[in-house]
Structure 1
Amino acid sequence: MTVLSIDAETYSDTSIKHGLAKYFETAKLLMLAYQIDDSPVELWEPHKSEMPAELEQALNDENTTIVAWNAIFEWYVVNRLIGVSVPIARFKDTMINALSLSLPGKLSEVGPIVGLDIEHLKNPEGAALIRRFCVPTESNGKKVIRDYKTDPELWETFCEYCKQDVVAERAIAKKLAIFDLSEQEWSDWHLDQKINLRGAPVDVELVDAALALDAEEKTRLLDELKTRTQLANPVSVTQFLAYAKQQGYSYDSLSKECVSKYLDQHPDTELAETLKIRQQATKTSVKKYEALKTATHNGRLKHTLQFYGARTGRWAGRIFQPQNLPSATFDDIDTAIELIKARDADTIDCLYDSVTEVLSGCIRAAIRAEPGNTLVVADLSAIENRVLAWIADDAEMLNIFETGLDPYKKFAVEMFGKKYEEITKKERKLAKPPVLGCGYMLGAKGLQKYSEGYGITIDETEAKRQVELFRSLFSDVPRFWKSLETAFFECVLDKNTVALGKLEIVSNPPVVQIVLPSGRAISYIRPAIQNLDTPWGEKRPQITYEGFDLKRKWTRIPTHPGKLTENVVQAIARDVLLEGIKRAENAGFNVVLHVHDEIVAEVPKDSGLTHEKLAALMSKPIVWAEGLPLAAEGFTSDYYKKD
């Protein structure tokens, strides 16, 4: 098989931050570096010559695999700018190889980590060269485009930079070759790109109206805040905190937690009302409308799903983040949508709590099927708990799902000492944090903080009781934590393969991988066992590995059995979702979006493709997951929402 490695440099009047589809509407090809197998790297400059015959032949050869870093960019170059029709199935992406190993997604960062010598590293001058030649600049209010005519010497440096990118990409590809994705995983990536190219349908009218209403409402709220506080900038944390303290605010922060505590303690004060107004004025969830506007091309939201966006293999959001969208706090979404489109702020204020709450609650609805189509949505029920029960082989937890019981109500039975049928909605909600969090080794303090995310406050004594209750009821889960840690220790220290139930922990220096039931693996780079302080002040051996910390510094990261368990569970849940996506596509569903455990498909209204069929496909037994109890539920709607 012939391998064609390519790297392109392009110019566009449109920022890449607006998404690839928009970017390539105004893009032109400046140069393309290429290498066929291990032959020398060549450079094609379209302003100098026609496309080289060997490059044209390789692009048109169905048996040639095209490899690039962030290959979807080069797919656009080949198909849109060069004009050669090449299916995405002929491409492979070295960046995806890197991400699958929990390496960074930037070419410049990967080279040093994998130990490339200086001759094979990416040229560090690249950012300045791209700013010089790939984006327009302004001089005296006029657009200036720089190229080989305006900067001939620097252009030659740019040409060498482009060629060096191919050198660096090829060197990294060879370093990672032993960890190459399986053909099935490459097929999964090709499907992912197909879904990203298809895009999700967007209600552009709703987005535009929401942005206009938000701007008006923010101006009104800011004016009201200025009148109330007499501050020049009441949105400023420094200015407003000083003002609030003068009014009796006792906290040193304006964090959501601190403000909520004050509002609970002093609900009827004038400062409480001012704080509520400021919360609305600074609400950031409506910024997702701006992201939607930015990333939407011809009415479709494209390239927002990043394959291998996390260590577990789960997707991440790009430009627009479909994960963790706010839910509506009101029922009549249809009326709210009509009022937003009418830009009727006065009626919204009369019928709902606030304009900002309505805008926030309707963000999901901005994903709307095109006329004649509908959205079919289904999500896997309690998938992480089901996977945890299955991978830990916990009979008690498995029995809950096998008998069709609600895991939160079942735990509430033990929490409150009541019969299953007597559990209230409130009690079920109170049981949710321990059921979801304690499986990943949360202690009492961790559970307290986790519960706050659900709007639930518990003291340390109650948190400790819930933790102990979970661990006693589902005793195979703590045993799994210990077994997983022991197996990982053994693999790191003895550099061998350790079998653990449905998993294998494999040493493949400098990487240790947890091989999942699907055959895919989670990777940990250069793991080690180090004596470190625990949160409770005790020194004990702990697993560390290389990765980015919260400040995006590449360093050693400590982990623990609960986190490893979370990685394993979420990775398997991802693989289960992917099985559902593939089945849905094969059955004729056009998948346009998916989030963690949910699939959104757009289908013709008369297609017969129902949410019941989609849910059945998602919950059908999986060959590699024998005994995993799956269930899914769904709904059909013209627009996306939280069911």
Structure 2
Amino acid sequence: METLNIDIETYSDEDLPNVGVYKYTDSPNFEILLFAYAIDHGKVTCVDLTENELPEDLLVALTDPEVIKIAFNAQFERVALTHYLRRLNRLEKDQWLDARQWHDTMVEANELGLPASLKQAAAYLGVPQQKDTRGVRLINFFSKPAKPTKANNMRKRNLPEDAPEDWQTFIDYNIQDVRTEMAIADKLKRFPMKSSEWALWAMDQRINDRGVAIDVPLADGAVQLMESQNDNNLTQLKAITGLENPNSLKQFKSWLANNGHPFDKLGKALVQDALAKKDLPDNISQALQLRLKLSNASTKKYLKMENARCSDGRVHGLLQFYGANRTGRWAGRLLQVQNLPRNYIGELDTARQLVKSQDGEAIEWFYDSIPEVLKQLIRTALIPKPGHRLIVCDFSAIEARVIAWYAHEKWTLEAFRTHGKIYEATASQMFNIPLKEVDKPTRQKGKVATLALGYQGSTGALEAMGALKMGITEDELPELVEKWRKANSHIVQFWYDTEKAAKAALSDGGVQVLQKGLKFYKKGGFLFIQLPSGRKLAYAKARLEEGTYGPQMVYEGQGDRVGFTKLHTYGGKLVENIVQATARDLLAEAMYRLEQHSYRVIFHIHDEAVTEMPEGVGSVAEMRDIMCEPVSWAKDLPLNAAGFESSYYMKD
């Protein structure tokens, strides 16, 4: 046996989308119902585990390093089977099935920019074995707690004997899933993933297996304060509006309109802008402020922490490998650690203690707003286990470094190799003034231009980056764009060269080569951009279409809504993909090196790695040096990182 394709059907009383696979399988009521498999791509068989045990040869294969286990979204099967084998005493309590022995067909699809859903991937690729559409009904019936009925209000779950014909259909559905997964794998085998990417996927699985501890007293205190505040705010809002349910968007908008202040939408930014003008009547202003507090989504992450926390006190599965399939970057799951509010308040220790003691009066006395304090303390609820501390390091200005490296923007690279003050250096170049004479307002202009304009953005990009809120006037924006582009002429040229190379690959074929070994070519309907690391970015069904200003590049990918659609791209956007993908590769290799030096990464955010280390072991300086070691494919790229140690996570 060399390969084992697997798909399982399961039961748990936990809600999988809300708690994730680790908490779902951690439930004492978790059970594997069906195990469908194919050995060496052969006939698909299903074992009904409600009646039979898994055969010994399969049990052995699950831990045999010589057998590659394959599944679509393999994390689910691997974690579920870990719990199954632990209960059979085939694995130790804290042991996980080794991800190095697994391959994930979903990851292979994601690397090619294809849908992450088995059903959608199969349909998009047009494989002969499509997913059985009866699955949703059967999963709702057999895999979830049953809804009480008048006939049996004590029922907790549906069993095979309750619906024998449906159960056989469920078995057939399970078998078909394996066939579909293998058909997708057959279609994708001409585009194999690099072995180094499988090593990184295995590392990602180990990071998710480790999880991160939750400060339970802090999370509990936050939830209690949040619920108390919401009750008070709702009572006040009812009194002001006279509405029975002011949480109802329809009712609240009607009340606003009836009081002479209609709102088409009530998004947070729109409401905040309306309040900032300070021209609303007191009752309207108070009602809007109260409703904002009620809809504070950030503080609901404390509830997510409690719901997703496993029996070991940790939350697992916070990151999705290749979650951003255009670049290969990770995406957040559950707590969405990649999108946590920053810390601005001082005395974090004091604020944390007040929340733990649920002293809302003191919080309002010292900090004015309970919701704001809770929001800013979310990061600090992520803590190390006893006897350990967090060591956190992140790359400094990594995207600005990477784009300058690709474009050979010499003055930028020199700034990074010397003083590192990129915002001041940018302002100096833009306004032709000595570095030491760059004042704070001028530095702000250099900063917003650096952050907003690197990917062919214009005045709209500056506004989106908050230029107007920084005190820069609308009239100044075009000049900022012009001065930045003039100061960064090599980056501007890189946009145009990239677009030209991509269009040439689509129209003329062959391999187009740019600086640093970037390669553009078309194969099997995909436009590929090969990075210096050897990894490839893929654009499905890429082609040229005639547009208003000549040929435009289009491809098919995930749009803003569910489903694949036609998307347009251009030089600056491709450069953004290239730069962010390269930054991802640098972080991935850095984390791999950290593991080799016994630094245990427990999660990571954008360009930052968070490690859990025993007291007295490791240091910020050592971690920084490991992360900044030159990589073989970018030895001349100037890297730097900064970090800190803490007993809880924060934004330093």
Q: TM-score, normalised by structure 1?
A: 0.94
CA spacing shift, 1:455–1:211, aligned 2, 3 Å: farther
How many correspondences in the alignment?
Answer: 634
Match of 1:587 among 576, 594, 597: 597
Whole-angstrom CA distance in 1 between matches of 2:204 and 2:637: 25
The letter of the residue matching 2:196 is: Q
8 Å CA contact 2:148–2:155 kept in 1: the answer is: yes
CA spacing shift, 1:374–1:491, aligned 2, 3 Å: same
Return the offset for 1:49: 3.4
Match of 1:309 among 319, 323, 328: 323
Whole-angstrom CA distance in 1 between matches of 2:320 and 2:507: 34
Matched, 1:438 2:453: yes
Match of 1:69 among 69, 72, 76: 72
Q: Could you tell me which residue of structure 2 aligns to residue 169 of structure 1?
A: 181
- Describe the SS at the equivalent of 1:550: coil
Whole-angstrom CA distance in 2 between matches of 1:355 and 1:61: 53
Q: Could you tell me which residue of structure 1 aligns to residue 313 of structure 2?
A: 299
8 Å CA contact 2:503–2:544 kept in 1: the answer is: yes
Whole-angstrom CA distance in 1 between matches of 2:474 and 2:313: 50
8 Å CA contact 2:3–2:70 kept in 1: the answer is: yes
Q: Could you tell me which residue of structure 1 aligns to residue 642 of structure 2?
A: 633
8 Å CA contact 1:434–1:466 kept in 2: the answer is: yes
Correspondence 1:458-497 to 2 at 5 A: 458-497=472-511
Q: Could you tell me which residue of structure 1 aligns to residue 629 of structure 2?
A: 620
**How far does the alpha carbon of each residue in 1:12-52 deviate from its partner, in whole angstroms, 9 at most, with x for none?**
12222312222113211211111111321111113443433
Whole-angstrom CA distance in 2 between matches of 1:409 and 1:214: 42
Q: Could you tell me which residue of structure 2 aligns to residue 116 of structure 1?
A: 127
Whole-angstrom CA distance in 2 between matches of 1:242 and 1:329: 36
Whole-angstrom CA distance in 2 between matches of 1:263 and 1:391: 44
Correspondence 1:93-108 to 2 at 5 A: 93-108=104-119
CA spacing shift, 1:243–1:458, aligned 2, 3 Å: farther
Whole-angstrom CA distance in 1 between matches of 2:148 and 2:257: 48
Identity of aligned residues (%): 36
8 Å CA contact 2:453–2:461 kept in 1: the answer is: no
Whole-angstrom CA distance in 2 between matches of 1:540 and 1:224: 59
Return the offset for 1:129: 1.0
Q: Could you tell me which residue of structure 2 aligns to residue 329 of structure 1?
A: 344
8 Å CA contact 2:41–2:182 kept in 1: the answer is: no
The letter of the residue matching 1:40 is: K
- Describe the SS at the equivalent of 1:7: strand
Whole-angstrom CA distance in 1 between matches of 2:605 and 2:444: 22
Whole-angstrom CA distance in 1 between matches of 2:279 and 2:412: 42
Q: Could you tell me which residue of structure 2 aligns to residue 535 of structure 1?
A: none
CA spacing shift, 1:203–1:505, aligned 2, 3 Å: same
Return the offset for 1:491: 0.8
Q: Could you tell me which residue of structure 1 aligns to residue 276 of structure 2?
A: 264
The letter of the residue matching 2:44 is: V
Return the offset for 1:281: 2.6
Q: Could you tell me which residue of structure 2 aligns to residue 346 of structure 1?
A: 361
- Describe the SS at the equivalent of 1:541: strand
The letter of the residue matching 1:552 is: V
Whole-angstrom CA distance in 1 between matches of 2:597 and 2:587: 15
Match of 1:456 among 453, 462, 470: 470
Q: Could you tell me which residue of structure 2 aligns to residue 87 of structure 1?
A: 98
8 Å CA contact 1:396–1:473 kept in 2: the answer is: no
- Describe the SS at the equivalent of 1:315: strand
Whole-angstrom CA distance in 1 between matches of 2:23 and 2:11: 13
- Describe the SS at the equivalent of 1:307: strand
Q: Could you tell me which residue of structure 2 aligns to residue 198 of structure 1?
A: 210
Whole-angstrom CA distance in 1 between matches of 2:174 and 2:512: 44
Whole-angstrom CA distance in 2 between matches of 1:52 and 1:94: 25
- Describe the SS at the equivalent of 2:337: coil
Q: Could you tell me which residue of structure 2 aligns to residue 568 of structure 1?
A: 578
Whole-angstrom CA distance in 2 between matches of 1:420 and 1:59: 61
Correspondence 1:244-255 to 2 at 5 A: 244=256, 252-255=264-267
Whole-angstrom CA distance in 2 between matches of 1:96 and 1:75: 14
8 Å CA contact 1:228–1:274 kept in 2: the answer is: yes
CA spacing shift, 1:216–1:434, aligned 2, 3 Å: same
Q: Could you tell me which residue of structure 2 aligns to residue 556 of structure 1?
A: 566
8 Å CA contact 1:451–1:457 kept in 2: the answer is: no
**How far does the alpha carbon of each residue in 1:289-316 deviate from its partner, in whole angstroms, 9 at most, with x for none?**
1222222212112011100000211100
The letter of the residue matching 1:21 is: Y
- Describe the SS at the equivalent of 1:149: helix
Whole-angstrom CA distance in 2 between matches of 1:314 and 1:634: 21
Whole-angstrom CA distance in 2 between matches of 1:48 and 1:223: 54
Return the offset for 1:225: 2.4
Whole-angstrom CA distance in 2 between matches of 1:445 and 1:60: 54
CA spacing shift, 1:427–1:277, aligned 2, 3 Å: farther
Q: Could you tell me which residue of structure 1 aligns to residue 408 of structure 2?
A: 393
The letter of the residue matching 2:304 is: A
Correspondence 1:268-283 to 2 at 5 A: 270=282, 271-283=284-296
The letter of the residue matching 2:338 is: Q
Return the offset for 1:480: 0.5
Match of 1:125 among 114, 127, 134: 134
Matched, 1:153 2:153: no
Q: TM-score, normalised by structure 2?
A: 0.93
Return the offset for 1:587: 1.1
Whole-angstrom CA distance in 1 between matches of 2:304 and 2:574: 33
Matched, 1:230 2:242: yes
The letter of the residue matching 1:464 is: P
The letter of the residue matching 1:104 is: P
8 Å CA contact 2:431–2:483 kept in 1: the answer is: no
Return the offset for 1:404: 2.1
**How far does the alpha carbon of each residue in 1:536-586 deviate from its partner, in whole angstroms, 9 at most, with x for none?**
xx5432111011221223221111211111110100001111121111111
Whole-angstrom CA distance in 1 between matches of 2:644 and 2:438: 26
8 Å CA contact 2:448–2:465 kept in 1: the answer is: yes
The letter of the residue matching 2:330 is: W
**How far does the alpha carbon of each residue in 1:454-504 deviate from its partner, in whole angstroms, 9 at most, with x for none?**
843644431111111111000011111111011101111123211111211
CA spacing shift, 1:511–1:208, aligned 2, 3 Å: same
The letter of the residue matching 2:488 is: F
8 Å CA contact 1:10–1:134 kept in 2: the answer is: yes
